[in-house]
């Protein structure tokens, strides 16, 4: 039985390179693949899947409104497709992920999706969330942070090079993204050090502080409740 695969990673991990290599392997054996990529890249990468090491292939574009099951079935009926490859799979709608699952389940054509797991704010993309939920096989494509740890997060940088901490989930320019480990991502996003780092190391002074500050302090909340801190 054909499977639905999801290979996920941070930015610049080589997902597109792996996709193109896998597609090439099929073609080398005389098999036919269907390549799809999001139309959200239309302005910069018109119908192409490109990798940073210079490999590229033309691809059909999908819109959020497209029925991908119908699209694949239509193509498959004309000429047999042996595997469907989907790049930028984070931009799939949840319904489209189900359509691709049906391609595997009902047309018996394997579907390999490649995409980002989370956006620059550390939130799952809807397409990635659905894929993580229902794909048969999950694979993490590894890349590394500047510190050498595995990079699992991305930050978006503005034209001035400064890290952007708010805004639209779908910002496209790949060059604007940097992959980081979780630790350095939190620092770049201004989430660490925490708001009152000095106080977190001085729990004794807690009772003299305003109650509001004590109540919002994560360490205070994690600790067994003390009557003095709990009282309003």
- Least distance in Å: CB of 153 to Zn ion? 9
Answer yes or no whether residue 181 interacts with Zn ion by CB under 5 A. Answer: yes
142 near Zn ion (CB under 5 A): no
The nearest distance, CB 190 to Zn ion, in angstroms, is 16
Is residue 41 packed enough to be buried (19+ CB in 10 Å), middle (13-18) or exposed (0-12)?
Answer: buried
Residue 4 interacting with Zn ion (CB under 5 A): no
Rg (CA), the chain: 22
Contact pick of 147, 162, 194, 213 for Zn ion (by CB under 5 A): 147
Query: Quick one: which of 64, 83, 86 has its CA closest to 75?
Result: 83
> Which part of the chain contacts Zn ion (CB under 5 A), choosing from 5-13, 113-121, 183-191, 210-218?
183-191
CA–CA distance from 169 to each of 34, 36, 158, 165 (Å)?
27, 21, 14, 11
Q: Which of 145, 154, 155, 178 is close enough to bind Zn ion by CB under 5 A?
A: 145
Write down the least CB distance from residue 162 to Zn ion, Å: 19
- The DSSP output letter for 144 is B
Given a contact cutoff of 8 angstroms between Cβ atoms, the answer to whether 25 and 157 are in contact is no
For Cα atoms 173, 140, 50, give the angle at the middle one, nearest 5 degrees.
Answer: 35
Indicate the length of the chain as a whole number: 232
Any catalytic annotation for residue 186? Answer: no
Q: Is 192 in the site for Zn ion (CB under 5 A)?
A: no
Site size toward Zn ion, by CB under 5 A: 5
Nearer to Zn ion, 62 or 120 (CB): 120
| Active-site residue, selected from the candidate residues 45, 88, 130, 188 | 88
- Say if residues 61 and 92 touch (Cβ distance below 8 Å): no
Q: Segment near Zn ion (CB under 5 A), from 1-9, 54-62, 88-96, 173-181?
A: 173-181
Residues within the interface to Zn ion (CB under 5 A): 145, 147, 149, 181, 184
Give the residue numbers annotated as catalytic, written as ranges.
88
């Amino acid at each position: 039985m054909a499977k639905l695969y999801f290979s996920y990673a941070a930015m610049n991990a080589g997902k597109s390179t792996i996709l193109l290599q896998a597609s090439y392997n099929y073609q080398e054996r005389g098999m036919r693949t269907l390549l799809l990529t999001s139309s959200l890249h239309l302005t910069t990468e018109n119908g192409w899947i490109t990798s940073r090491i210079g490999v590229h292939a033309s691809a059909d574009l999908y819109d959020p409104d497209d029925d991908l099951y119908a699209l694949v079935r239509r193509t498959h009926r004309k000429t047999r497709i042996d595997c469907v490859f989907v790049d930028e799979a984070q931009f799939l709608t949840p319904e489209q992920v189900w359509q691709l699952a049906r391609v595997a389940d009902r047309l018996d054509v394997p579907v390999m999706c490649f995409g980002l797991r989370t956006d620059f704010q550390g939130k799952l993309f809807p397409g990635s969330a659905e894929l993580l939920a229902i794909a048969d096989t999950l694979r993490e494509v590894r890349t590394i942070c500047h510190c050498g740890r595995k990079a699992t997060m991305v930050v978006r940088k503005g034209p001035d090079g400064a890290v952007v901490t708010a805004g639209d989930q779908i910002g496209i320019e790949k060059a604007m993204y940097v992959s980081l480990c979780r630790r350095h991502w939190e620092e770049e996003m201004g989430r660490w050090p925490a708001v009152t780092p000095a106080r977190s190391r001085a729990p004794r002074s807690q009772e003299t502080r305003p109650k509001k500050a004590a109540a919002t302090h994560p360490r205070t909340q994690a600790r067994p409740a003390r009557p003095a801190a709990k009282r309003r």
